[in-house]
């Protein structure tokens, strides 16, 4: 909740570029069906909860000491997971982890962006890219997309050549549209970014486990300025854990050491993430169920008469509404919280359990009838 006393705020000697701005703020409302923040609707399975308790108890016995600063065991297991699922061998030296992929992205911008430097993203996309840029003093450039929300490659190449950004963000699958990016597109933008000046290309794959396409992980081979960013918040159903990671050339992993806070990943976090990785197969089973539900949402929404953007994520962008905020409110009045990302005419719904999705579809059906 924002402080109502804005005058005290105005007096604070905050940085000029933060003055009058709004923080990241997806509403956290207590309604029966919450499909607004792309969380996994399935609680962790009980055997995993028990294993977390065990591993955390073990960690608790050494909490008088600082944790492993380099999180070697965790990075080794993440590398094993990526190697197994990403069709590309990855070693511990290629992997870095932090408190959510938001922190990974922040460390990347602290290292490769910063004052006097710029980053570009192709919008609409994940709003935190621009916010983290602002927080790190990195200039932000809003790049274009096609009307169908795919990246306009020629326009993007032109924007990169013109602005010569230091960091290029490519979100695949993209949030909030659900759109996956083809490997060819990433390669074209990587080439454009290296031709303009050597710059870092970050592929944010927070939702890739839900995609019809493979991860772009193999592209890091021979491309030292390409970074793949991932998270345990979505596919692993562990948004509350706060564990994100990246895969890249070992030099990138070395470089972020310059800005990471010492002991940034608590022993409790490392123990919990390691327990979750032991249960990867079960958790990926939930991902399969969610993919089927996501596909059902796409089909049923189209049946109801909505426009729907093809989705490779655990959420679906649907519309088009004369006023998306009014539509958001009407759906909320029926007990279902979806997300208004400020894309005119469109809303975003996260794939929930079959029951939650049914409740959502009923709400939209009623809304569409009202609008007839």
**What residue ranges bind ligand PMP (CB under 6 A)?**
38, 100-102, 126, 171, 175, 204, 206, 231, 233, 239, 244
SS3 call for 153: helix
Interhelix angle 46-60/267-278, rounded to 10 degrees, is 150
**Cβ-count burial of 259 within 10 angstroms (0-12 exposed, 13-18 middle, 19+ buried)?**
middle
- How far apart are the C-alpha atoms of 104 and 97, rounded to whole Å? 7
Query: Could you tell me which residues come within 8 angstroms of residue 179 by beta carbon, excluding any fewer than 6 positions away?
Result: 149, 150, 172, 173, 309, 310, 311, 312
**Cβ-count burial of 56 within 10 angstroms (0-12 exposed, 13-18 middle, 19+ buried)?**
middle
Between 86 and 361, name the residue whose CB sits nearer to ligand PMP: 86
Check whether the bond before 124 is cis (ω within 30° of 0). yes
CB-side exposure of 36: number of CA atoms within 13 Å?
21
Least distance in angstroms from the C-beta of 144 to ligand PMP: 18
- How far apart are the C-alpha atoms of 49 and 87, rounded to whole Å? 29
Least distance in angstroms from the C-beta of 320 to ligand PMP: 22
Residue keyed to tokens 């993209």? 174
Between 38 and 211, name the residue whose CB sits nearer to ligand PMP: 38
| Helix (H) or strand (E) segment spanning residue 336 | strand 336-337
Least distance in angstroms from the C-beta of 104 to ligand PMP: 7
SS3 call for 199: coil
Between 110 and 231, name the residue whose CB sits nearer to ligand PMP: 231
Query: Could you tell me which residues come within 8 angstroms of residue 62 by beta carbon, excluding any fewer than 6 positions away?
Result: 267
Between 203 and 367, name the residue whose CB sits nearer to ligand PMP: 203
Least distance in angstroms from the C-beta of 270 to ligand PMP: 16
Least distance in angstroms from the C-beta of 162 to ligand PMP: 25
Q: Alpha carbon of 176 to those of 6, 41, 194, 241, 315: distances in Å?
A: 31, 18, 28, 22, 8
Least distance in angstroms from the C-beta of 129 to ligand PMP: 8
Least distance in angstroms from the C-beta of 80 to ligand PMP: 20
Between 100 and 367, name the residue whose CB sits nearer to ligand PMP: 100
Between 182 and 368, name the residue whose CB sits nearer to ligand PMP: 182
Between 200 and 361, name the residue whose CB sits nearer to ligand PMP: 200
| Helix (H) or strand (E) segment spanning residue 139 | strand 139-143
What is the number of the residue whose Cβ is closest to ligand PMP? 100
CB 118 within 8 A of CB 159: no
Q: Which residues pair with 99 in a beta bridge?
A: none
Between 35 and 361, name the residue whose CB sits nearer to ligand PMP: 35
Least distance in angstroms from the C-beta of 132 to ligand PMP: 10
Least distance in angstroms from the C-beta of 331 to ligand PMP: 20
SS3 call for 159: helix
Between 100 and 124, name the residue whose CB sits nearer to ligand PMP: 100
């Amino acid at each position: 909740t924002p402080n109502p006393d804005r005058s005290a705020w105005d007096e604070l000697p905050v940085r000029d570029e933060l003055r009058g701005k709004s923080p990241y703020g997806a509403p956290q409302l207590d309604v029966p069906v919450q499909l607004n923040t792309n969380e996994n609707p399935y609680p962790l399975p009980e055997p995993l909860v028990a294993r977390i308790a065990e591993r955390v108890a073990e960690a608790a016995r050494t909490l008088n000491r600082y944790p492993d600063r380099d999180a070697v065991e965790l990075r080794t297991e993440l590398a094993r997971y990526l190697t197994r699922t990403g069709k590309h061998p990855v070693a511990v030296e290629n992997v870095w982890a932090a408190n959510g992929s938001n922190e990974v992205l922040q460390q990347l911008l602290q290292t490769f962006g910063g004052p006097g430097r710029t980053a570009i993203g192709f919008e609409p996309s994940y709003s935190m890219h621009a916010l983290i840029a602002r927080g790190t003093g990195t200039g932000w450039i809003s790049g274009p997309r096609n009307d169908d929300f795919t990246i306009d490659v020629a326009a993007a190449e032109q924007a990169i050549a013109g602005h010569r950004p230091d960091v290029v963000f490519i979100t695949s699958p993209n949030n909030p549209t659900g759109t996956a990016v083809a490997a060819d597109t990433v390669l074209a933008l990587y080439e454009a970014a290296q031709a303009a000046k050597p710059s870092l290309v970050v592929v944010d794959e927070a939702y890739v486990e839900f995609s019809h396409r493979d991860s772009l992980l193999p592209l890091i081979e021979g491309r030292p300025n390409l970074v793949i960013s991932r998270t345990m918040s979505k596919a692993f159903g562990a948004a509350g854990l706060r564990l994100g990671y990246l895969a890249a050339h070992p030099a990138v992993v070395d470089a972020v050491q310059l800005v990471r806070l010492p002991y940034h990943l608590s022993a409790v976090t490392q123990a919990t993430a390691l327990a979750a990785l032991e249960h990867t197969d079960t958790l990926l089973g939930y991902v399969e169920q969610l993919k089927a539900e996501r596909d059902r949402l796409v089909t049923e929404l189209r049946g109801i008469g909505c426009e729907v953007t093809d989705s490779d994520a655990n959420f679906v962008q649907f519309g088009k509404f004369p006023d998306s905020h009014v539509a958001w409110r009407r759906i909320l009045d029926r007990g279902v919280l979806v997300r208004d990302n400020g894309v005119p005419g469109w809303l975003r719904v996260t794939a929930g359990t079959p029951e939650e999705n049914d409740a959502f579809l009923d709400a939209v059906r009623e809304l569409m009838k009202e609008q007839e």
